[in-house]
Chain A
Amino acid sequence: MKVSIYAFVVLLAYASLLRIGAEELEQSQQTERISGSAGDVLEDDPVGRLKVFVYDLPSKYNKKILQKDPRCLNHMFAAEIYMHRFLLSSPVRTLNPEEADWFYTPVYTTCDLTPNGLPLPFKSPRMMRSAIQLISSNWPYWNRTAGADHFFVTPHDFGACFHYQEEKAIERGILSLLQRATLVQTFGQRNHVCLKEGSITIPPYAPPQKMQSHLIPPDTPRSIFVYFRGLFYDVSNDPEGGYYARGARASVWENFKDNPLFDISTEHPVTYYEDMQRAVFCLCPLGWAPWSPRLVEGVVFGCIPVIIADDIVLPFADAIPWEEIGVFVAEKDVPNLDAILTSIPPEVILRKQRLLANPSMKQAMLFPQPAQPGDAFHQILNGLARKLPHDNSIYLNPGEKILDWNAGPSGDLKPW
């Protein structure tokens, strides 16, 4: 009896010790997560937190397309190409697919360019489908999870809806084969068909060297109040106005074209980058799609971005505190833009400028070659790492089929 009581007490003591130990572990995990709040997360290093396997697709999906048109390296959709190159030589890459957390498929869907340099999305669904057919037949990993641990870079206007016109894109919806995969795209708008839950929004590609070469001394006084260069009316596709940019850009022009505080015009000057560095606010209104490279340029040049796009999802929204850096104006408030901007207290403006001057913010928006710590490539990997570990439910039971390989418009089903 005494022995049993003694044993019971020992057991209790041991159990309490275990509990204390467990609590300590939990606390240390909690402190790790707390430090991952917006701002600090920018400095996270993804190496060691995830492993990515790069499928070896035949060159007709990537290299040959690039050879046919090397302009793809410089336009704003070039992120897909540079992401591929980065992953090939990155320490997160693994050659053993069994230990990989994420799988990457290097297919350049935004590289079929018109003579003017604009990408045509008409063949992209077929290209993507053909690539997925290839990986699902040559490797078992796609069928294992129906693509839930695969990610794709789709930087086109409306992401994986693969169309430049919004109505058509909504009609098409996201390619059905990609419904379980993670999409890394530039498009982001809340409650929109073309933004899947769990997508990672990235900035469009802007050439880092070109921007660096146009830097002016930071003590040059900022003497332009609001700056914008771009179209207000898209005359060849929407001559009456009201369609393009949901009428917001036209409204900016009509209300502020004779206002001396607003330096807005359609002329694209040689000193465009230098002018942005001399401006306090840079307008970033939506166009045919809500995102634009102006956001990247504004952040790099220290000009406070004024975002006029309802419900937009900005790049790396879980890592960058956009509310504190930029000014958000609803599209219906555009006629009062001057009142809104002048009523911001100067301390708030100075604070925003100090936040913008933070080099890690600028680095997170860029795709430099070779990759540097804290740049957009690393933020993408951080985003992927934050989605780990994969839930066990993504693994399909044998014989279970989720994806319908024949869904979608008949034009998509033709082989590429």
Chain B
Amino acid sequence: MKLWMMQQNLNNRRNNNFRVNGILDSGVEGVYKSPPALFYFVLHGLFCLFSLVMGFRFARLIIFLFLSTNNNSTSITDYLYNTTTTPILTSPTVITTNVANGLTLDSPPATPTLQNPDTVSNQSTPVSTGSHIIVGRHGIQIRAWPHPDPIEVMKAHRIMERVQAGQRLLYGIKNPKPLIVITPTYVRTFQNLHLTGLMHSLMLAPYNVTWIVVEAGGPTRETAALLAKSGCRTIHIGFDQRMPILWEDRHRMESRMRLRALRVVRDQRLDGIVVFGDDSNIHSKELFDEIQSVKWIGAVSVGILAHSGNPDEQGDENSPLPVQGPACNSSGNLVGWNTFNPLSHGEKIGDNETVLPMKLEWAGFVLNSRLVWKEAEGKPEWVKDLETLENDGGDLESPLSLLKNGSVVEPLGSCGSKVLLWWLRVEAREDGKFPSGWIADSPSEITSGKKVGGTQEHKGKHTDKTG
């Protein structure tokens, strides 16, 4: 409160000093000018003294008694001590000013203040002839029900929607391209959780999405049920191998699953921008807006949420930035790649140590789907054919192996300085007992301190999904 008052004073045009000066000036001059002015000055002083003693604006009472010709039913005290709520409810009309009589009804609780009576009496000086604007005290108009009207609130929201649509038309992306999201997945405890998160991100993106989900070990009913809820077009494919246990093997298999999905894109000649959305990654809404500007192949910066079981390792001064992505020189051209390679990492899914991504993850790249088509207009010659990749069985670490020349990649997101998605691999530990269907039957099981974030996978025992 005090700060606010001080701020008011700072922002104020005139301090009390000025008013005192002004009044003294006029007062002093007035005294020397004429007896009526002198009389008025003395009266003013008397009123001030009375007000000080009595504790309310004495002048108002006097003026009311002298000038009251209108006999309202309200008593004198109502005029002197204006209350807030009751007058508003009883009088359905707007309370306005009554300037001519020298009285006003203001609605904020007028704590009796020590005001100079001359501000009450010398009002209603019209600005000039022909103007209806009066300089002086006005009433504060409050309508009978000063609260929001729900119909108007809805109208305002609709106006704002129109305004925002207009903004998108003016400044946003024209001709948005559809997205093709490729997700390799497999059955494990957290599968439904991860897929639900990804599904929500895709549902929020204001574009047409075709979601290709490749499931290791064959398509399952639960996954199909989840995909049906997504509301976008889904292609659910099975992959005939089970997911291996070691991290490196898992990476390689995921890449092969993605190639399988790219084959679907090629066969069905799907048009749009291919996004490699891994199920446990976190995507921002800006990612989908930013990738609309890709021509053939683009790269964005990926934040690595590397989980470390050993807290001593982090906070190392030499630890690099956990961001993977394109690196640019000052003129905005791609000159290299930022990778994240701290020293130790986990080997198995289920290690207590840091799970690290490969040097460059598929998730950080986006492609124009025409790159994988058999024939497409304007398809550049630096892209290898999909079939040669599969047959060679070569290094499938990142989409860069699709290219003959790595320098054609377009860096997106302010040349890689904006991190638009985050890579995360969090799975349940093998001995973790998560309730089936996430319905907790007995609380004691839950509170026995299970550690999530370890990296063990359920072994064959739990074939039913508990996620």
Which residues of A line the B interface, CB within 8 A?
114, 116, 118, 157, 164-168, 170, 189-193, 217-219, 221-223, 225, 231, 233-237, 239-243, 246-247, 250-251, 254-256, 258-261, 266, 268, 280, 288, 310-311, 332, 334-336, 338-339, 341-344, 346, 349-350, 353-354, 357
A130 CA to B79 CA in the complex, in Å?
51
Closest 4 interchain pairs by CB? A219-B171, A191-B131, A335-B143, A247-B138
A359 CA to B127 CA in the complex, in Å?
37
Contact of B108 with A342 in the complex, beta carbons under 8 Å: no
Number of cross-chain contacts by CB at 8 Å: 178
Within 8 A of A (CB), among B432-451: none
Contact of A342 with B143 in the complex, beta carbons under 8 Å: no
Within 8 A of A (CB), among B376-411: none
Contact of A235 with B5 in the complex, beta carbons under 8 Å: yes
Interface status of B10 (Cβ within 8 A of chain A): yes
CB distance from B52 to the nearest CB of A (A): 16
> A163 — nearest CB in chain B belongs to which residue?
B22
Which residues of B line the A interface, CB within 8 A?
4-5, 7-16, 19, 22, 94, 97, 104, 106-108, 110, 113, 115, 119, 125, 127-128, 130-133, 135-143, 146-149, 152-153, 155-156, 158-160, 162-164, 166-168, 170-172
> Which residues on the A side are within 8 Å of B140 (C-beta)?
241-242, 247, 250-251, 254
Residue in A167, A190, A217 with the greatest tally of chain B CB atoms within 10 Å: A167
A354 CA to B170 CA in the complex, in Å?
9
Contact of B160 with A192 in the complex, beta carbons under 8 Å: no
Contact of B141 with A164 in the complex, beta carbons under 8 Å: no
CB distance from A39 to the nearest CB of B (A): 20
> A287 — nearest CB in chain B belongs to which residue?
B13
> Which residues on the B side are within 8 Å of A225 (C-beta)?
156, 159-160
Contact of B104 with A251 in the complex, beta carbons under 8 Å: no
Contact of B127 with A193 in the complex, beta carbons under 8 Å: yes
A262 CA to B426 CA in the complex, in Å?
44
A242 CA to B19 CA in the complex, in Å?
18
A225 CA to B137 CA in the complex, in Å?
31
Contact of A221 with B164 in the complex, beta carbons under 8 Å: yes
Contact of A236 with B133 in the complex, beta carbons under 8 Å: no
Please judge, given known A-B contacts A116-B12, A261-B148, A350-B166, whether A246 and B130 are in contact too, CB under 8 Å: no
Please judge, given known A-B contacts A164-B13, A219-B168, whether A191 and B110 are in contact too, CB under 8 Å: no
> Which residues on the A side are within 8 Å of B7 (C-beta)?
268
Contact of A335 with B142 in the complex, beta carbons under 8 Å: yes
A246 CA to B133 CA in the complex, in Å?
9
CB distance from B248 to the nearest CB of A (A): 42
Contact of B94 with A349 in the complex, beta carbons under 8 Å: no
7 inter-chain pairs at a CB distance below 8 angstroms, sorted by A residue, are: A254-B108, A258-B147, A338-B149, A338-B152, A346-B159, A346-B163, A349-B162
A26 CA to B166 CA in the complex, in Å?
45
Contact of A240 with B106 in the complex, beta carbons under 8 Å: yes
**In-complex Cβ contact of A342 among B106, B131, B146, B159 (8 A):** B159
Contact of A261 with B153 in the complex, beta carbons under 8 Å: yes
CB distance from B266 to the nearest CB of A (A): 34
CB distance from A1 to the nearest CB of B (A): 68
Please judge, given known A-B contacts A247-B141, A310-B133, whether A280 and B127 are in contact too, CB under 8 Å: no
> Which residues on the B side are within 8 Å of A236 (C-beta)?
8-9, 12, 14-16
CB distance from A277 to the nearest CB of B (A): 11
Contact of B14 with A164 in the complex, beta carbons under 8 Å: yes
CB distance from A373 to the nearest CB of B (A): 25
> Which residues on the B side are within 8 Å of A353 (C-beta)?
163, 166
Contact of A231 with B104 in the complex, beta carbons under 8 Å: no
**In-complex Cβ contact of B162 among A250, A346, A354 (8 A):** A346
Contact of B8 with A235 in the complex, beta carbons under 8 Å: yes
> A341 — nearest CB in chain B belongs to which residue?
B156
